[in-house]
């Protein structure tokens, strides 16, 4: 038996609680009854002793002592009523003492005379030589003559003890029954309550990465267990989605790498079979180089993404001026834009302080400007701006390019997504630039969004917390 299991511990708790309550109630009942019986027996004896004192002893003269004896016998008949009565003179000699009762329930012979008389009244329990106990009420009564007589009235406690003994026996018989019910009932109750946990555990043990679409059973009990299995199921869903994403990512990555590799291979095969240095050779080598560059770019971007996934963006955390970074980057990209006849303009405030990895945030500006230049036809414009608004630095890259169709807008930040596969590949894109932008932004607590109209242009907006303002 597993003594650490919840089943065992709850059963043990339940059983000990019930047994504890039973013992406590039993003890309260037993001692309560004992106290009550003793008190009422004591009161009865005291009442009788007062009665004898008030009626027979009060006016007692030494010469009337024989009358007292016969009056006690006729009025109280202690032997017939199983009672003990004794009257002791002031000098300590016994005036009257009742004998053994008819039912022989006790034998008062040998009951010692009280050495110290009580001031007025007292109640005591005396053990008789025959092993029985007497509860005796004693009154030190002053007669009108001034003499003090000690009146003692007692009754055996045997019937009271029999009653208490019976109660003890009943409690003793009841205890094992209570233990049995507490342990058995507790075990069944806990087993019932924990049955869904058993089912959930068994199912959870069966779920592996190959059957992540399966779910744990949800007990419709509106309790903690229902919440637990619902949360676990949500967790499995998230894991399934993550696994699917990474599978898709690996498949997309291998697909992207395969195309340039196939081109490289066939071009190299052509070179091998060709004899001598032909006129097409430099052109052929140039195209090989282009493919190698494309491959290198994809690998570099994949590497950047995997590092961002591993949470490395915090490595070079510094405070810097985003406005200045944007302006210098726009200057550098201008060369590329001039070749295409596109004007890149930049408008920014003097200082917009942000905190983050400077190199990675520069990558964001480069990727957005690169796309804007790539997807804007000759003669178009690209405009970069940085401003601060409501505790945020707002960086916007707007172009007058080809725009993005509405159905593609929600997907542009996904890995390997390209609106027009063929044209994007021609421009050297593998659909990773915006995915990198999104990952960098997420690592900086920033948001990135896009607005676009087909054939009119696009606007990418990055919202980054200003330095000192927590995202
Ligand atoms: P790529 O490297 O192919 O450009 P990105 O992730 O940078 O990949 O962009 C994803 C897709 O979004 C691109 O293939 C392109 O179709 C579209 N896109 C991105 N930026 C722009 C833009 N400024 N204008 C029009 N289309 C864009």
Topology of domain 207-310, CATH: Helix Hairpins (1.10.287)
CA separation for the pair 439, 443 (Å, rounded)? 6
Determine the distance separating the centroid of ligand 1 and the alpha carbon of 412, expressed in angstroms.
7
Structure tokens of 315?
A: 């490595």
Among 418, 448, 459, residue to substitute to test ligand 1 (most atoms within 8 Å of Cβ): 418
Domain ranges of the chain: 6-163, 207-310, 317-465
Among 308, 293, 289, 408, CA closest to 363: 308
User: Is residue 376 in contact with ligand 1, taking CB distance under 6 Å?
Assistant: no
User: Is residue 229 in contact with ligand 1, taking CB distance under 6 Å?
Assistant: no
Determine the distance separating the centroid of ligand 1 and the alpha carbon of 11, expressed in angstroms.
64
User: Is residue 436 in contact with ligand 1, taking CB distance under 6 Å?
Assistant: no
Q: How far is CA 236 from CA 200, 213, 214, 239, in A?
A: 13, 8, 9, 5
317-465 is classed CATH 3.30.565.10: yes
Whether 102 and 75 have beta carbons less than 8 Å apart is answered as no
Atom of ligand 1 nearest to the CA of 428: 2
User: Is residue 342 in contact with ligand 1, taking CB distance under 6 Å?
Assistant: no
Determine the distance separating the centroid of ligand 1 and the alpha carbon of 431, expressed in angstroms.
7
Determine the distance separating the centroid of ligand 1 and the alpha carbon of 267, expressed in angstroms.
29
Burial grade of 409 (CB within 10 A; 0-12, 13-18, 19 or more): middle
Burial grade of 150 (CB within 10 A; 0-12, 13-18, 19 or more): buried
Q: How far is CA 140 from CA 61, 72, 118, 150, 191, in A?
A: 16, 17, 6, 4, 68
User: Is residue 368 in contact with ligand 1, taking CB distance under 6 Å?
Assistant: no
User: Is residue 154 in contact with ligand 1, taking CB distance under 6 Å?
Assistant: no
Same-fold call for 6-163 versus 207-310: no
User: Is residue 432 in contact with ligand 1, taking CB distance under 6 Å?
Assistant: yes
User: Is residue 404 in contact with ligand 1, taking CB distance under 6 Å?
Assistant: yes
The CATH number of the structural domain formed by 6-163 is 3.30.450.20
Structure tokens of 357?
A: 């990895």
Among 371, 381, 421, 427, residue to substitute to test ligand 1 (most atoms within 8 Å of Cβ): 371
Atom of ligand 1 nearest to the CA of 399: 23
Atom of ligand 1 nearest to the CA of 421: 14
Atom of ligand 1 nearest to the CA of 434: 6
Write down the pTM of the prediction: 0.59
User: Is residue 399 in contact with ligand 1, taking CB distance under 6 Å?
Assistant: yes
Residue-by-residue pLDDT tens, the chain, 471 positions: 778 888 899 999 988 999 999 999 999 999 999 999 999 999 999 999 999 999 888 888 878 888 889 999 889 888 888 899 999 988 888 999 998 888 887 888 778 888 888 888 999 998 887 778 899 999 998 888 888 899 999 999 988 999 999 999 999 999 999 889 989 999 999 998 889 999 999 999 999 988 889 999 998 888 899 999 999 999 999 999 988 888 888 888 887 888 788 888 888 888 777 767 777 777 878 888 888 888 888 888 888 888 787 776 556 789 999 999 999 999 999 888 998 899 999 998 789 999 999 999 999 999 999 999 999 999 999 999 999 999 999 999 999 999 999 999 999 999 889 888 666 666 667 889 999 999 999 989 999 999 999 999 999 999 999 988 765
Structure tokens of 127?
A: 């053990």
User: Is residue 401 in contact with ligand 1, taking CB distance under 6 Å?
Assistant: yes
Q: Which residues contact 428 (CB under 8 A, 6 or more apart)?
A: 293, 294, 297
Determine the distance separating the centroid of ligand 1 and the alpha carbon of 371, expressed in angstroms.
6
Determine the distance separating the centroid of ligand 1 and the alpha carbon of 404, expressed in angstroms.
8
pLDDT digits (tens, 9 = 90+) for 200-251: 999 999 999 888 899 999 988 888 999 999 999 999 999 999 888 888 888 8
Determine the distance separating the centroid of ligand 1 and the alpha carbon of 419, expressed in angstroms.
7
User: Is residue 41 in contact with ligand 1, taking CB distance under 6 Å?
Assistant: no
Structure tokens of 412?
A: 């542009």
Among protein residues, the one whose CA lies closest to atom 13 of ligand 1: 418
CA separation for the pair 391, 393 (Å, rounded)? 7
Residue showing tokens 């690169």: 370
């Amino acid at each position: 038996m597993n003594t650490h299991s919840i089943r065992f511990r709850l059963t043990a708790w339940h059983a000990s609680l019930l047994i504890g309550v039973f013992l406590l109630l039993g003890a309260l009942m037993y001692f309560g009854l004992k106290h009550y019986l003793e008190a009422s027996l004591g009161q009865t004896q005291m009442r009788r002793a007062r009665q004898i004192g008030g009626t027979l002893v009060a006016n007692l003269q030494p010469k009337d002592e024989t009358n007292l004896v016969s009056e006690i016998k006729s009025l109280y008949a202690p032997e017939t009523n199983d009672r003990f009565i004794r009257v002791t003179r002031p000098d300590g000699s016994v005036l009257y003492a009742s004998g053994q009762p008819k039912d022989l329930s006790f034998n008062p012979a040998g009951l010692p005379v009280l050495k110290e008389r009580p001031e007025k009244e007292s109640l005591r329990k005396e053990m008789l030589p025959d092993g029985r106990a007497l509860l005796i009420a004693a009154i030190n009564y002053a007669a009108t003559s001034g003499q003090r007589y000690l009146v003692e009235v007692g009754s055996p406690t045997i019937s009271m003890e029999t009653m208490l003994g019976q109660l003890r026996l009943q409690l003793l018989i009841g205890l094992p029954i209570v233990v049995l019910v507490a342990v058995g009932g507790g075990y069944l109750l806990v087993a019932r309550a924990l049955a869904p946990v058993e089912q959930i555990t068994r199912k959870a043990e069966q779920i592996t990465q190959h059957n992540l679409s399966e779910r744990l059973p949800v007990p419709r009990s509106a309790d903690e267990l229902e919440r637990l299995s619902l949360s676990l199921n949500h967790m499995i869903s998230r894991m399934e989605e993550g696994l699917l994403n990474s599978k898709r990512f690996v498949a997309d990555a291998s697909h992207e790498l395969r195309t340039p590799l196939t081109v490289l291979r066939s071009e190299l095969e052509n070179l091998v079979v060709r004899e001598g240095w032909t006129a097409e050779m430099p052109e052929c080598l140039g195209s090989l180089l282009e493919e190698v560059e494309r491959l290198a770019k994809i690998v570099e971007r994949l590497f950047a993404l995997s590092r961002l996934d591993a949470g490395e963006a915090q490595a070079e955390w510094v405070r810097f001026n985003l406005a200045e970074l944007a302006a210098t980057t726009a200057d550098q990209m201008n060369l590329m834009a001039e070749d295409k006849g596109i004007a890149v303009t930049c408008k920014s405030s003097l200082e917009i302080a942000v905190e983050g990895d400077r190199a990675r945030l520069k990558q964001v500006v480069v990727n957005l400007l690169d796309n804007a230049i790539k997807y804007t036809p000759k003669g178009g414009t690209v405009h970069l701006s940085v401003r601060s608004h409501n505790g945020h630095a707002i960086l916007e890259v707007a172009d007058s390019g080809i725009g993005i169709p509405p159905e593609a807008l929600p997907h542009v930040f996904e890995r390997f997504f390209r609106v027009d596969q063929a044209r994007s590949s021609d421009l050297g894109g593998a659909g990773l630039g915006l995915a990198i932008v999104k990952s960098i932004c997420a690592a900086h607590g920033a948001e990135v969004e896009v607005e676009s109209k087909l054939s009119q242009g696009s606007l990418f907006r990055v919202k980054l917390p200003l330095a000192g303002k927590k995202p």
